[in-house]
Amino acid sequence: MASKINTRSQILAHTMAIIVIVIWASTFVSAKILLNNFSALEIMLIRILIAYIALWLIYPHRPVFFGFRQELLFIAAGICGVTLYFLMQNIAIDYSTSSNVSIIISLAPIITALFAHLFLDNEKLSIRFFIGFLVAVSGVLLVSINGKFNLKLNPIGDMLAFLAACSWAMYCVIMRKIMAVKQNLILCTRKVFFYGLVTMSPVFFVTEFNLDPGRFTNPVSIFNLLFLGLGASAFGFIIWNRTVETLGAVKTSVYLYLQPVVTVSLSAIVLGDKIMPLTVAGIVLTLVGLILSENKNNTVLK
């Protein structure tokens, strides 16, 4: 009976990971629509604020102090998973191309695997994982260029994208440590967003906000802001954190390979972007790489 329950929880976790990736991939389409009326930093700050308020409404209980060591983990998670990741990713897109950023961010699973190997006891690396990584990243490369090879080095933007991938990888490792001690998931996620908002607060003073209330009366803008705040941030982080707890940081992060695949597919459906034959080949490679990386029968590297 216990094995059946464990198998069901594993299947549910894999399913939820895919759902979250679909939601997160959709954020690029939503953000593209919102950029007509909002700046990238405004979108980022609004979505995080909406998420934090929503988590308070869902779980309206006082913050719990878990001890200085555990609280430091929450602070680190807020800095890595919210402040640094979102800031560096947004700024990277300003300095580099979306293709470059997408490809570099796809390095997050391998970086997560290396960090987990260094800082966690129960996360193992395998030969098949690295083979899957190479296949999946090759697919991501084809998907990201979408038939137009315009890959150029942009040192500042590309470095920021790489640091964003490192920040997310560290966030996954930290959340694995946090969730090892059984705590309320919503409260944990809320604390992460709280410290993210606190450490991001200096951005409020250097960003010029357009206070025109008319921007918030547009139904399309309202829908997309709520989608980013409630769906992608509040719900997305809760489910991702639960998946990290169930599957581990390495297995969960592998699903990030799917993000550019879903983004390109949604862009074709919603925005009318064309999908080239090389892109289809890239999608196939990405899926093969994902399957290889998730395979259980791996030779463990020591």
pLDDT at 117: 82
Tens-digit pLDDT profile for residues 223-265? 999 999 999 999 999 999 999 988 888 888 888 888 878 877 7
Flag whether 68 is in a domain.
yes
Domain hosting residue 42, numbered range: 2-120+151-246
Residue indicated by tokens 């779980």: 59
What mean pLDDT, rounded, does the chain reach? 82
- Is 297 inside any structural domain? no
Q: Has residue 234 been placed in a domain?
A: yes
Q: Is residue 271 part of a domain?
A: no
**Residue 252 resides in a domain:** no
> Which pLDDT score is estimated for 295?
60
Q: How many CB atoms lie within 10 A of CB 36?
A: 10
Q: What is the tens place of the pLDDT at every residue in 139-156? A: 877 776 655 555 566 778
Name residues of the chain where pLDDT drops below 70: 1-5, 97-100, 123-124, 144-153, 211, 267, 270-273, 294-302
Does residue 189 sit within a domain?
Answer: yes
Q: What is the pLDDT of residue 299?
A: 44
SS (H, E, C) the chain: CHHHHHHHHHHHHHHHHHHHHHHHHHHHHHHHHHCCCCCHHHHHHHHHHHHHHHHHHHCCCCCCCCCHHHHHHHHHHHHHHHHHHHHHHHHHHHHCCHHHHHHHHCCHHHHHHHHHHHHCCCCCEEHHHHHHHHHHHHHHHHHHHCCCCCCCCCHHHHHHHHHHHHHHHHHHHHHHHHHHCCCCHHHHHHHHHHHHHHHHCHHHHHCCCCCCHHHHCCHHHHHHHHHHHHHHHHHHHHHHHHHHHHHCHHHHHHHHHHHHHHHHHHHHHHHCCCCCHHHHHHHHHHHHHHHHHHCCCCCEEC
Residue 211, pLDDT score: 67
Within-domain flag for 214: yes
Residue 167: inside a domain: yes
Query: Based on the structure, what is the number of domains in the chain?
Result: 1
